[in-house]
Structure 1
Amino acid sequence: MKLLAATALLAALVPAAPSLPAAPAAPSGPPTASPVRASADDCTHPEARLRTNGHGRERNDLTPAQAAGIEEQLNRLLNRLGLGPVDESGGQSKGSDLKAAPQITIPVFFHVIHDGPRGNVSTAAINRQISTMNASYGGRNGGADTRVSFKLQGVSRSNSAAWFQDPERYEGTYKPMLHQGGKGTLNLYSTYIGGDLLGWSTFPWKYKSDPKMDGVTIHYGSMPGGSIEHFNKGFSATHEVGHWLGLYHTFQDGCGGQGDRVADTPAERDPSNGCPTGKDTCPSPGVDPVHNYMDYSYDTCMTSFTAGQGARMHKVWAAYRA
C-alpha cells in the first residue's frame, strides 16, 4: 500500500507511445454477475499503498511470522531451481546478485474501469504510466537499474458504474472476466478508489492458488498528471508492481526481524509521510529509506529502488513467475 498527504506537484511528462485500439467496452450499469468479495485476508490489502499516515490500514503488512513462512517457501523453490537461497546474507538479498541477472520484459494488459467519462483515461495517459514504470525500474530517476521493463500489449475499457464506485467489492467479478495472460503477464487495473487507498496488488506467491485474481489495481488519479495532490507522478503503480514482483514495504518488521529481506534498505520502524529529512527510526545503521519506491512518501520524494531490491525481484521472478 501507499499513503497520500499534501503538496501539489507537476507530473513528469513522458512522450506517449502510439495509441493502441481499445477492447470492446463492457455494458454500462451494474455488472450482470453477482459481486464476489475477496477473502478477509485479501480485503485488508497488506500489499497496498495509502494516502494518509497515522490511522487506517497502513500497518496491515505481513506479520514477521507470515513473512518468515513465505521466505522459507521461496528458498525451497530457489534451491530446487539450483539458484541458491534469497537469504544468502543473513536473510537479505544482496545487490551484487543483480550484476548477472538477465533483462526481464513484462507484457502488460491495462484495464480501464470507468463510469462514462469518469476514469476513462486516455491511451496517451496509459502510455505515460508505462513509461513512468520503465523509468522507475530502469534507474532513470535515481538508484539501481533493476533490469526489469514493461511493454504494453493491450487496453480494455469497461464502462460500469458499480465496478468503478466499489472496485474492492466487485474485484472478484471483473478480474476473472478481464484477466489476460499467465503468471508472467501484468494485469494493471485503473479505477476510482475511495478512502485512503491509492492502490493494491497481489503477491507472486498467491498466483498459483488464484491466478485470475493476480494483478495490480491503482486509483486513476494517481497516474502521471492525475488529480491526487502529492501522488500524481505515477509512482503508486511503481510501488504496487514492486509488491507484484515480490518486494515488501521498507518498514516490514519495523526495527526487528529481517525487515524487507533486502540488505541495502536500512530498517524503518514507521512508514514515511511527506518527504521528511533525516528520518531515522531504528538504531541499526542507516537513515530511513524515504526516497525508496516501497515506502509511503510523496511521489515528489520517491526516486529509487536499490540493487538489492532488484536482485530480490529476479529471484522471486524465477521462483514464481518465470
Structure 2
Amino acid sequence: MKPLAAAALLAALVPAVPFGQSAPSASTGPSASTGHERRGDDCARPPAAPEARHRTDDGHARDRMDLSPAEAAAVETRLNRILDGLVQGGHGPSKSASLRRAAPITVPVYFHVIHAGAQGNVSNAMIQRQISTLNTSYGGGDGGANAHVSFTLKAVSRTDNAAWFGDPERYEGTYKPRLHQGGKSTLNLYSTYIGGDLLGWSTFPWKYKSDPTMDGVTIHYASMPGGSIENFNKGFSATHEVGHWLGLYHTFQDGCSGQGDRVADTPAERDPTNGCPSFKDTCPTPGEDPVHNYMDYGYDTCMTSFTPGQGTRIHNVWTAYRA
C-alpha cells in the first residue's frame, strides 16, 4: 500500500447515470479512519487478492500472481465439481462442448470514472473506444478466436475525488461498495490513476460470492485506447484484466510444470513475455510461447488473440459462477 493521500481533500460523488447524460454532483468525503488493514472496516478495506498488471522499468508488463499452483488446483477442483453437478442435473453444457455451440454471453458494463478535476476525467468517446476494444478482443476481430462474449455499456458514473484518484488501492474498499452496480454477471469497470508501474487489477469470478461489491476491474485511465502510456495504450490492459474477471489465468500459470492455465491450446510458458519478441520458447513441451495472447504480458501492440480453448474456459466458468 502507498502512503495515505491528504485526508482533508474533499470528494464529489456522482451516481451512475445513463450513458451520455450529465449527472448531478453530491458532496462527500473519504473516511478519516486509517484502519485499512481490517477487513471489517468498510471505509477502507484492502483489495481481496487482486490481479495487478504493471510495468517494470524496462517497460515489461507485470501482474502480481494471485494464485499459487496449490491454490489454482483447489479452484479447479471446485470448478469441476460445480460443472459436473450442472451437467448431471441437466443445467449446463459438457466441459468439452464446442465453443461454436455455446450460447453468446452479453455482459452489461457500468463504467466508473474516478478523477481529480480534469485529471483522469476521460471522455465519453474514450469510454466508447474502450468498450469497442473489448468487443473486438473477445469477438475475434484481431485474428484470434471468437470467444462469443460481448459488452454493452449501460451507464457511466463520474466521481471527482482526489484522494481516491491518488491512491485507488488504499480506497478500493471505499469506492467499490458505493459505486458498484448490478450482480454477478455485470462488469463494473473503474478507470483512475494508478501510481508506480501498475496498469490495473481484477477479481476472479469465484471470489464474487464472498465479497460481491468488490467484484470488478480497475484500470489506469492512460492505458485506455489513445492513452499516454507508451506501449500500453491500445486498451488491452482492460482486455487482460477482464480475462481474469471471466476466469482466465495467465498463459504462464504454473510455468513449465503442473497443468498450466488449464487451457489445452495455449502452449506451456515458463516466463512472461517482455515487449514483442519474434520468437520465444521457454518450455520443453511442444509449442512456442503464446506471445500474442491477451493473457500474456507483451506490449499492447503485440497482443492479438485468445484461443478457442480460452473461449471454452470462459463459458465454463461463466456457467459455474456468473450465469
SS of the aligned residue for 1:300 comes to: coil
Name the structure 1 match of 2:174: 173
1:110 aligns with 2:111: yes
Name the structure 2 match of 1:201: 202
SS of the aligned residue for 1:169 comes to: coil
| 1:42 to partner: Cα distance | 6.7
Task: Supply the AA of the counterpart residue of 2:268.
Answer: A
| 1:47 to partner: Cα distance | 1.9
Q: Which moved more, 1:30-39 or 1:146-155?
A: 30-39
Name the structure 2 match of 1:69: 74
CA distance in structure 2 between the aligned counterparts of 1:31 and 1:212, rounded to whole angstroms: 18
Name the structure 2 match of 1:260: 261
Q: Which moved more, 1:49-58 or 1:168-177?
A: 49-58
- Structure 1 residues 145 and 42 mapped into 2: Cα distance closer, same or farther (>3 Å)? farther
- Structure 1 residues 39 and 204 mapped into 2: Cα distance closer, same or farther (>3 Å)? farther
User: Any conservation in 2 of the 1:53–1:273 contact (CA below 8 Å)?
Assistant: no
- Structure 1 residues 321 and 36 mapped into 2: Cα distance closer, same or farther (>3 Å)? farther
Name the structure 2 match of 1:222: 223
Name the structure 2 match of 1:50: 54
SS of the aligned residue for 1:113 comes to: strand
CA distance in structure 1 between the aligned counterparts of 2:37 and 2:139, rounded to whole angstroms: 33
| More strand, by proportion | 2
- Structure 1 residues 76 and 221 mapped into 2: Cα distance closer, same or farther (>3 Å)? same
| 1:79 to partner: Cα distance | 1.1
CA distance in structure 1 between the aligned counterparts of 2:167 and 2:64, rounded to whole angstroms: 22
Q: Over aligned residues, Cα RMSD in angstroms?
A: 2.4
Name the structure 1 match of 2:6: none
Task: Supply the AA of the counterpart residue of 1:70.
Answer: V
SS of the aligned residue for 1:217 comes to: strand
Q: TM-score, normalised by structure 2?
A: 0.86
Structure 2 runs not aligned, ≥5 long: 1-17, 40-44
CA distance in structure 2 between the aligned counterparts of 1:66 and 1:34, rounded to whole angstroms: 33
| 1:48 to partner: Cα distance | 2.3
Cα deviation code 1:21-59 (max 9, x no counterpart): 24444537x424746647799758552212127899745
User: Any conservation in 2 of the 1:22–1:157 contact (CA below 8 Å)?
Assistant: no
Q: TM-score, normalised by structure 1?
A: 0.86
Task: Detail structure 1 runs of 4+ shifted over 6 Å in the superposition.
Answer: 38-42, 53-57
User: Any conservation in 2 of the 1:23–1:155 contact (CA below 8 Å)?
Assistant: no
User: Any conservation in 2 of the 1:114–1:160 contact (CA below 8 Å)?
Assistant: yes
CA distance in structure 2 between the aligned counterparts of 1:266 and 1:213, rounded to whole angstroms: 32
SS of the aligned residue for 1:27 comes to: strand
- Greater C-alpha Rg: 2
Task: Supply the AA of the counterpart residue of 1:27.
Answer: S
CA distance in structure 2 between the aligned counterparts of 1:172 and 1:79, rounded to whole angstroms: 34
CA distance in structure 1 between the aligned counterparts of 2:210 and 2:201, rounded to whole angstroms: 18
Task: Supply the AA of the counterpart residue of 2:304.
Answer: T
- Structure 1 residues 115 and 60 mapped into 2: Cα distance closer, same or farther (>3 Å)? same
- Structure 1 residues 58 and 182 mapped into 2: Cα distance closer, same or farther (>3 Å)? closer
SS of the aligned residue for 1:73 comes to: helix
Name the structure 2 match of 1:242: 243
| 1:97 to partner: Cα distance | 2.5
Structure 1 runs not aligned, ≥5 long: 1-17, 87-93
Matches within 5 A, 1:120-135: 120-135=121-136
SS of the aligned residue for 1:81 comes to: helix
Name the structure 2 match of 1:10: none
| 1:99 to partner: Cα distance | 1.7
